[in-house]
């Protein structure tokens, strides 16, 4: 599943709108919106915040991390 779908699934499972989710993990609403629309990917700092959110709320982080790694690898390949 793509990163955009994974992050949206976590947010919706928490019953949060994009603005609430963004505030909780310390990013802007626009950032979450761009992640969910596949227009941007989180940096390391944001991924750490997403991991902390998942751990704190009991959501699996592995699929989110895996999909993020796939995006990062695609962006590095020539």
pLDDT digits (tens, 9 = 90+) for 32-65: 999 999 999 999 999 999 999 999 999 999 999 9
Can you tell me the distance from the alpha carbon of 32 to that of 25, in angstroms, rounded to the nearest whole number? 10
Task: Determine the pLDDT at residue 19.
Answer: 98
Residue range 5-30, pLDDT digits in tens: 999 999 999 999 999 999 999 999 99
CA distance 12 to 17: 7
User: According to the model, what pLDDT value does residue 13 have?
Assistant: 95
Report all structural domains of the chain as residue ranges with CATH numbers, in order of start: 3-76 (1.10.260.40)
| pLDDT band (50, 70, 90) for residue 78 | low
* pTM recorded for the entire structure: 0.86
Q: How far apart are CA 50 and CA 10, in angstroms?
A: 9
- Burial of 49 (C-beta count, 10 Å sphere; 0-12/13-18/19+): middle
Q: Which of 32, 9, 36 is nearest to 20 (CA)?
A: 32
């Amino acid at each position: 599943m793509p990163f955009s779908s994974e992050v949206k699934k976590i947010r919706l499972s928490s019953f949060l709108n994009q603005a609430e989710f963004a505030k909780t993990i310390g990013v802007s609403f626009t950032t979450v919106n761009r992640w969910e629309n596949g227009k941007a990917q989180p940096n390391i700092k944001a991924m750490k915040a997403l991991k902390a959110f998942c751990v704190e709320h009991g959501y699996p982080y592995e699929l989110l991390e895996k999909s993020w790694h796939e995006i990062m690898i695609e962006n590095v390949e020539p």
